[in-house]
């Protein structure tokens, strides 16, 4: 059974703070790591698809890094805004086409 973990489970930050959270996944048989943002009452929205060890992706104030050898990815948000409040999900895909989501990190940005 593939296990994908995310930490912390939830996070409260003040507007303007920078924050980061972690996704841990199996280091063997890695194929890709996806990050999604899921706002309340909306559908999950793709942020990044990462495939190479050492990959860094950026989209506005959000960026992500990937370490496939040790099995983790970090998601960073610079200068958090209230509209960043959402659940951030990572999903691990292996060569067997298994696709496993973590439980998510719930971020609340207080104005």
Q: Could you give the string, one character per residue 30-69, with x where binding to other proteins holds by CB under 8 A and - elsewhere? A: -xx-x-x-----xxxxx--x-x------------------
CB of 111 to other proteins, least distance (A): 26
Q: Which two tokens stand for residue 39?
A: 């706002």
17 vs 100 by CB, closer to other proteins: 100
- Tell whether residue 4 is a contact of other proteins (CB under 8 A): yes
Strands 10-14 and 105-110: parallel
Least distance CB 47 / other proteins (angstroms): 8
C-beta closer to other proteins: residue 17 or 99: 99
Q: Rounded CA gap, 74 and 53, in Å?
A: 13
Candidates 31, 34, 29; CA nearest to 90 is 34
Residue 28 three-state SS: coil
Residue with smaller CB distance to other proteins, 17 or 101: 101
Q: How far is CA 30 from CA 8, 37, 52, 61, in A?
A: 23, 22, 9, 27
Residues that bind other proteins (CB under 8 A): 1, 4, 6, 31-32, 34, 36, 42-46, 49, 51, 89, 91, 93, 97-104
């Amino acid at each position: 059974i593939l296990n994908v973990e995310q930490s912390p489970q939830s996070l409260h930050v003040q507007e303007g703070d920078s924050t980061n959270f972690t996704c841990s996944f199996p280091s063997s048989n890695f194929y890709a790591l996806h990050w999604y943002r899921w706002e309340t009452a909306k559908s999950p929205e793709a942020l990044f698809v990462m495939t190479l060890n050492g990959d860094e992706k950026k989209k506005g104030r959000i960026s992500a890094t990937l370490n496939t050898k040790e099995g983790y990815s970090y998601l960073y948000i610079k200068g958090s805004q209230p509209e960043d409040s959402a659940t951030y999900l990572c999903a691990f895909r292996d060569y067997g086409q298994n696709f496993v989501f973590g439980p998510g990190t719930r971020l609340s940005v207080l104005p």
